[in-house]
Amino acid sequence: MITRELKDLAAELTNVVDSVAAAFGPRALATVDGELDCDPSRPGQLVCWQYGVRLEESPGALRVLAEAVRPTLEKAGWEAYDRSTYREVIARFSRDGADFSVHLARDGRGVAIIGSTRLVSVETG
């Protein structure tokens, strides 16, 4: 059961992730898009929205992340965190309880962006 609050959060997250994906290239494919039940001990009580996309190719992705994506998001109030590993560059962005991560494979094989909204209580009744 999607609430109005979750619908608004989902729309904002989707727009942000799509705009970030567009900076990396024109061929992003959605990988996940939907409501997620976040409390296994009380099913249906707390939900969030997950949304993700993947680009198979993105020439110059590291430069795009450093010179375009990160500065633009920081100006819009998103906090950036480096979560990189030896296998991938990971930039995590958070704002107002929502977050998403940009994953760049170090071997140059694509970009994945995945995010989720904050948890929202579902009213029953």
Tell whether the torsion through CA atoms of 39, 42, 47 and 52 is positive or negative.
positive
Residue 39 predicted with pLDDT over 80: no
Taking the C-alpha atoms of residue 104 and residue 90, their distance in angstroms, rounded to an integer, is 6
Average pLDDT over residues 14-24: 96
CATH of region 4-121: 3.30.160.110
Q: Are 49 and 34 in contact (CB under 8 A)?
A: yes
Judge whether residue 106 has pLDDT over 60. yes
For the entire predicted model, the pTM comes to 0.89
